[in-house]
Structure 1
Amino acid sequence: MDTKTRPKKTRPRQISPIITAVEAWLSKIASSSSTSASQLPNTQDLLASAPKRWVAYDPMVLLPSGSFGSCGWTTLLSSEPPTSTDELWSRVLANISKTAKGKLTHLAVNEGIPLHSAQSDVPHGEDENILRSPTRLRTLYGDFGPAELPAARQAPTAEDFASAFWVATTQNGVYQTWAPRWTMFSRGNVTEKARLLNFHAPGDGPNMVHRRKPGEELGKSAAVDLYAGIGYFVFSYAKLGMRVFCWELNPWSVEGLRRAAVKNKFSVRVVQEEEEEEEEEEEEELGLLTSGVLSPEAGNEQIVVFLEDNAHANRRIGEARDQHGPIDIMHVNCGLLPRSDCSWESGLNMVGHKGGVGWLHLHENVGVADIRKRREEILDMLRGWCDGPRRRIVDVEHVEQVKTFAPGVWHCVFDVCIRDGGD
């Protein structure tokens, strides 16, 4: 018997559709009369520095940070007429579309979401980018809508929303949409969304038996998201059957959340700060409260979005409890990075009910060597806030390392279990 090992069949090397498009374009411009070979940067260098990866958000392709940003590429692209560069981007989109579900029409480079934004009226010319606006998005191809609002106003109108470019994706069976010029999308949160969806499912082990909740109980409970964005975690709670109260400052994110809620068949209401006094005027000005959202029978929507600072959250929840009776808040999500500790005491005051159990989900960027230390610091901080007539038992029962933020730094979620300790 021949015992020699048969040689393994090698699969043909897969060439990136971007590289295929780049090669064809470089070949064309090299042979054109307007460009001599001596004027072209080294072709191999251009190919080596061209992006190989991408993410498609229908109908947009988003390239990694720095794409086509090397010295060779910037020199070449600046020397080519717009019709030539448009042909390159069109080729890239056409090639990637062959592997996608539909036609992709827009191309941009994701240069990251800055933690600060330039402001001329603050010290050092920078202010915290509270709205997480993608000010460094580099658009390459397609109409992304107006780049800025008219100088006379800062708040977007219904017409602004209509003229903007919107993209969408579906994760864990949940539809989400956003305007890439005006708000961010965090792709890496997909695992945390799935974790929340399964938070109360059986099979978490004997130490987590208290997490197991039937759908009937979840349907009578509520969740709070103090940093809602476009609904990253809001929709996970809603899909579990809970009512969700959430806060968000960026009106573009709120509009994305509202649109996605409708698409996902969740009833939704948008509440603006002091809307009780100027409801009709603000509806016309901001264009957020579309027909039917603030109907006479409003008040039982599954998702209620407050377009305001979350400093008002405790007051709003108190008003809701005064109006509708006890509200069992089982979850409070504090999802701001790099840290969200400014909202933790507020969240602690909201969560749970007498005889019940609830959870705070505290997001922070933490050095991997400091996770255990930070866990103890959080526990001490929350227990200090619990000193008072209302006895509460606090336990940081789990730390989820969601994704790396930087070398040696993790985006962590600290699951804090809050139990009522009785009288």
Structure 2
Amino acid sequence: MDARKKPPKKPKTNPISSAISSWLSALPPPLLDLITPAPDSNQNHIDLLLLTSPKRWVIYEPMVLLPSGSFTSLPWPALLSSLTPNQTSLLWAAILRNISPSSKVPLTHLAINEGIPLHTIATTTTSNEEGEGEENLLRSPSGLRPLHGSFGPTTPFASDRDFSTAFWVSTKQNGITQIWAPRWTMFSRGNVKEKARLLSFHDAARPGGPGVKGKWAVDLYAGIGYFVFSYARLGMRVLCWELNPWSVEGLRRGAEANGWSVRAVMGEELELSMGELVGGGEQIVVLLEDNREAGRRVRALRGVREVEVAHVNCGFLPSSEGSWRDAWEIQGKGLRDGGKGWLHLHENVGFGDIEERRGEINVMLNEWGGGEVKGEVEHVELVKTFAPDVWHCVFDVCITKSGPA
């Protein structure tokens, strides 16, 4: 053998499959005898269990999140229903133990991601059947299936004690840390592209781009700080709104982790004047209230100090159109003659309808502007697919105000 040739690398073993295989070998044989493969299957029960087990995962330290539908394919349900709690716990612990070497910290919690429902579950008034409830405005991850570890309070109260006993996870994207409580707050990994785009939005190559440091950004759907933190990284002060108290607390924790000063305004503090609310100089001010208050509050703030808003972000799906008029008022009415600002309008749009929607937005905004303030969709960013042939779009609207003739 040529000594210069390296031996072929052994194929890597999937850590979940490896954990399941070892765990199965330790189970009492009678348990496995209860699991029979489908009549048309040529595989034994062990092979079938391994074949239908999840192969992918995402780490949000210290949690491992498995993909939707994990452990629901036959014959997993029959096996899991026949196990003792201790036997099930040993399986989840083995999976965490096998994945942990790839993480900087020990992984302690395991869950299955079942997506964020657009509506809450409601009971119909005529029967006990479940029906489609109200819109899930808080985007609560009610489908999350915890498997291992304590995920904290099981009722949606949001006191300081609840926050202190809740389970929190974190991740870093584009060098920015984000923190959230997975039982009560969503996290969209696919927004990483749009966050990065905002960070480079004012590169020198863009006409009129540089010079946003010290200006204001307004985010009408703050969440845990998805886009808020990109604006803060650019050196802007951010005024934002959010309805979910768990998201506000995640935003507060995330801002502090990144070294940005932050003020979370809720309860009786909402009665304070806008001058008082921003007078402390915090880089980020988040208000726990309906964003329909945003227009009124920004007008009040402009009554006591100069506020130049460079960006207004409307990041809500399937459509943020309900906030566009307020966004237009916040941006357009504060522009100086010859000034420029931006709206980022998020909406799910069929691929074949994007250009038509672009034109509709142009017409809508310019009707509101009355000739003095103009808006034009300069670019449409396709962030990610939401459904077949449906894209999460961001319409970048450039707002300008004409100077005196």
CA contact 2:31–2:82 (8 Å) conserved in 1:
no
1:378 aligns with 2:372: no
The separation in 2 between residues aligned to 1:306 and 1:122, in whole angstroms, is 35
From 20, 23, 39, the equivalent of 2:21 is 23
- Report the CA distance shift for 1:201/1:277 in structure 2 as closer, same or farther (over 3 A): closer
- 1:16: Cα distance to partner? 1.3
From 148, 152, 172, the equivalent of 1:145 is 152
SS for the counterpart of 2:114 is coil
From 394, 402, 405, the equivalent of 1:421 is 402
1:238 aligns with 2:240: no
- 1:70: Cα distance to partner? 1.4
Which residue in 1 is equivalent to 2:173?
Answer: 171
| Residue type of the alignment partner of 1:221 | K
Which stretch of structure 1 is more off in the superposition, 239-248 or 314-323? 314-323
SS for the counterpart of 1:362 is strand
Which residue in 1 is equivalent to 2:187?
Answer: 185
- 1:320: Cα distance to partner? 1.3
Match runs of 1:94-133 below 5 Å: 94-120=97-123, 124-133=131-140
1:90 aligns with 2:88: no
CA contact 1:116–1:127 (8 Å) conserved in 2:
yes
SS for the counterpart of 2:375 is strand
Which residue in 2 is equivalent to 1:68?
Answer: 71
Which residue in 2 is equivalent to 1:341?
Answer: 321
CA contact 2:343–2:398 (8 Å) conserved in 1:
yes
* Alignment deviations for residues 120-168 of structure 1 (CA, whole Å, 9 cap, x no partner): 488955110000000010000001112114xxxxx41100001110001
Which stretch of structure 1 is more off in the superposition, 379-388 or 229-238? 379-388
| Residue type of the alignment partner of 1:138 | R
| Residue type of the alignment partner of 1:196 | L
1:56 aligns with 2:56: no
SS for the counterpart of 1:415 is strand
SS for the counterpart of 1:177 is strand
1:37 aligns with 2:33: yes
| Residue type of the alignment partner of 2:329 | N
* Alignment deviations for residues 261-289 of structure 1 (CA, whole Å, 9 cap, x no partner): 1111111111226635499xxxxxxxxxx
* Alignment deviations for residues 211-247 of structure 1 (CA, whole Å, 9 cap, x no partner): x21xxx3223100000000000001001100000000
The separation in 1 between residues aligned to 2:182 and 2:245, in whole angstroms, is 13
The separation in 1 between residues aligned to 2:265 and 2:103, in whole angstroms, is 38
- 1:300: Cα distance to partner? 1.5
Instruction: Give the structure-1-normalised TM-score.
Output: 0.86
| Residue type of the alignment partner of 1:106 | H
Instruction: Give the structure-2-normalised TM-score.
Output: 0.90
The separation in 2 between residues aligned to 1:273 and 1:158, in whole angstroms, is 13
CA contact 1:358–1:418 (8 Å) conserved in 2:
yes
Q: Identity of counterpart residues, as a percentage?
A: 55
- 1:11: Cα distance to partner? 4.7
SS for the counterpart of 2:285 is strand
From 161, 164, 172, the equivalent of 2:163 is 161
- Report the CA distance shift for 1:36/1:370 in structure 2 as closer, same or farther (over 3 A): closer
- 1:36: Cα distance to partner? 4.7
Which residue in 2 is equivalent to 1:225?
Answer: 219
Q: Which runs of 5+ in 1 are unaligned?
A: 1-6, 150-154, 280-294
CA contact 1:40–1:76 (8 Å) conserved in 2:
no
CA contact 2:236–2:283 (8 Å) conserved in 1:
yes
| Residue type of the alignment partner of 2:26 | K
* Alignment deviations for residues 93-146 of structure 1 (CA, whole Å, 9 cap, x no partner): 000001111110000000000000023488955110000000010000001112
- 1:297: Cα distance to partner? 9.3
Runs of 4+ with deviation above 6 angstroms: 7-10
CA contact 1:273–1:308 (8 Å) conserved in 2:
no
| Residue type of the alignment partner of 1:188 | G
SS for the counterpart of 2:103 is coil
The separation in 1 between residues aligned to 2:358 and 2:343, in whole angstroms, is 13
SS for the counterpart of 2:106 is coil
The separation in 2 between residues aligned to 1:194 and 1:364, in whole angstroms, is 19
CA contact 1:362–1:415 (8 Å) conserved in 2:
yes
- 1:308: Cα distance to partner? 0.3
Q: Which runs of 5+ in 2 are unaligned?
A: 38-44
- Report the CA distance shift for 1:407/1:125 in structure 2 as closer, same or farther (over 3 A): closer
SS for the counterpart of 1:56 is strand
CA contact 2:35–2:75 (8 Å) conserved in 1:
no
- 1:331: Cα distance to partner? 0.3
| Residue type of the alignment partner of 1:377 | E
SS for the counterpart of 1:114 is coil
- Report the CA distance shift for 1:83/1:365 in structure 2 as closer, same or farther (over 3 A): same
Which residue in 2 is equivalent to 1:288?
Answer: none
- Report the CA distance shift for 1:377/1:8 in structure 2 as closer, same or farther (over 3 A): farther
- Report the CA distance shift for 1:39/1:224 in structure 2 as closer, same or farther (over 3 A): same
The separation in 1 between residues aligned to 2:125 and 2:185, in whole angstroms, is 23
SS for the counterpart of 1:411 is strand
Q: What is the aligned length?
A: 385
Which residue in 2 is equivalent to 1:201?
Answer: 203
From 134, 137, 140, the equivalent of 2:141 is 134
